[in-house]
Structure 1
Amino acid sequence: MAEVKLLGAWGSPFSRRVEMALKLKGVEYEYIEQDLANKSPLLLKYNPIHKKVPVLLHNGKAMAESLVILEYIDETWKSNPILPEDPYDKAMARFWAKFIDEKCMPAIWQIMWSKENEREKAIEEAIQHLKTLENELKDKKFFGGETIGLVDIVANFIGFWLGAAAEATGMELVNKERFPILCKWIDEYVNCSVVKENIPPRDKLIAFLRPRFSASSWKY
């Protein structure tokens, strides 16, 4: 049997993406928790460039960056594909996955870390990107159609972490009035069995996030 190991961190949405893909594929793996405040020799050895999780080890070969790893998993283990077969649909899935990582997530983090006088502009930018993402979802159950695919896996930050951050900070960016379609997707997403198995305990995540932000300063 192929030897698969995953270096990850319990609260990292990027690590959880890889775990979700492995679970969807039915791949057995060894999970090795990493302390990102005190990076292990193993992590530094296998990801010397970025020094971040996740890192996937497959038969001794290492790879980093969650999007790269997800594509590798899909190409290596063929059951339950997370990318479409059609070349155009596959290209569009990659496009929207990158849109989430390069547009949506940075905009959301900018709200949390920006100064108060810069926050309104950051909120507007994040809302615009999330509206664009919602328009892509349209009337589909998941971004991947009737089953979870690459874009859904990559959007786990929006599907779960953002709600926990809202509770920890008082910053409710996504609600049914503003994003009815996205909220419907979130409900379907967090109630999907493979997602439930691969998200951190909500209370633990909120407790982790709360001291990092002042709740009173995020209400608007």
Structure 2
Amino acid sequence: MNQEEQVKLLGLWGSPFSKRVEMVLKLKGIPYEYIEEDVYGNKSPMLLKYNPIHKKVPVLIHGDRSIAESLVIVEYIEDTWKTSEPILPQDPYERAMARFWAKYVDDKVILALWKACWGPETEREKMVDEASEDLQCLEKELGDKQFFGGETIGFVDIAADFIGYWLGLVQEASGVTIMTAEKFPKLQRWSEDFVANSFIKEALPPKQKLVALFKTKFGSAKSK
């Protein structure tokens, strides 16, 4: 496919999954048109056309083709624009390990963190313990590296964007504290380095706007 074909992104301003794609597009310097979707209201004809299966964002449109699911999109971008800012290792084993940890973040860590902060109060203590164990695994995997990708931001860093930016704001809005510099010094340092990157920072939504969103949409969960 011609790399020069127009790129569009259907997204949601506060979604870490949508922002993953923007981060990679910005890191690689790929021009794109961003289209905000109202996924909680009336879904647009464009969204229904290009993601008829799940009807959710993000959706990348490249020419006349569309790709859904954030990490699938990130891999597509990586495979299509190979010449700039690689985010996946070339070594097959290291590439597989990056996919493993990204899937671990998506399938286990983010869900546990969300339930720990917003789940039923009767289950919250259990979920805080589970989320802490998950973060400890990531702390160990990060080790002394600046990023999960080594010296530069890679696939796992992008997958963990929720932990790097959203988690602190979710903790603030929910009043539940899980990740601290005392318990997870390496992850805390990583999160600071991650959001300090100029391309990542450019893609991040405003903090107070996110906190207000969380308190409005999920604040009632604390009383359930």
TM-score band by shorter chain is over 0.9
3-state SS of paired residue (2:72): helix
Q: How many residues align?
A: 218
Deviates more, 1:30-39 or 1:112-121: 112-121
State yes or no: 1:60 paired with 2:91.
no
Who is 2:15 aligned against? 12
**2:75 match:** 71
State which of 86, 95, 105 in structure 2 corresponds to 1:100: 105
C-alpha distance in structure 1 between counterparts of 2:91 and 2:145, whole Å: 18
Give per-residue Cα distances to partners, 1:39-84, cap 9 Å, x unaligned: 1111111111111100000011001001110000000001111101
In structure 1, the residue matched to 2:145 is 140
2:193 matched residue in structure 1 = 188
- Secondary structure class of the residue paired with 1:197: helix
RMSD: 1.5
1:131 aligned residue: 136
Is 1:115 the counterpart of 2:120? The answer is yes
Which residue is equivalent to 1:51? Answer: 55
Shift of 1:213: 3.6
For 1:133 and 1:150, how far apart are their aligned partners in 2? 14
List structure 1 segments (4+ residues) > 3 angstroms apart after TM superposition.
213-218
Partner amino acid, structure 1, of 2:17? F
Percent identity at matched positions?
59
- Cα separation, 1, equivalents of 2:44 and 2:147: 37
Say whether the 8 Å CA contact 1:170–1:215 is kept in structure 2.
no
Specify the code of the residue in structure 2 equivalent to 1:171.
Answer: V
* Contact preservation (8 Å) 1:170, 1:216: no
Do the aligned partners of 2:119 and 2:221 also contact (CA within 8 Å) in 1?
no
| Pairing partner for 2:206 from 201, 204, 213 | 201
Q: Secondary structure at the match of 2:10?
A: strand
Following TM superposition, by how much is the alpha carbon of 1:112 offset from its aligned partner in structure 2, in angstroms? Answer: 3.1
Contact kept in structure 2, 1:169 and 1:215, CA below 8 Å:
no
Scaled by the length of structure 2, the TM-score of the pair is: 0.94
Match in the other structure for 2:45: 41
Return the offset for 1:215: 8.7
- Corresponding position of 1:162: 167
Residue 8 of structure 1 contacts residue 31 of structure 1 at CA under 8 Å; is this kept in 2? yes
Query: Match for 1:85: what amino acid?
Result: Q
The whole-number CA distance in structure 2 between the counterparts of 1:216 and 1:110 is 10
Change (3 A) 1:45 1:182: same
Q: Which runs of 5+ in 2 are unaligned?
A: none
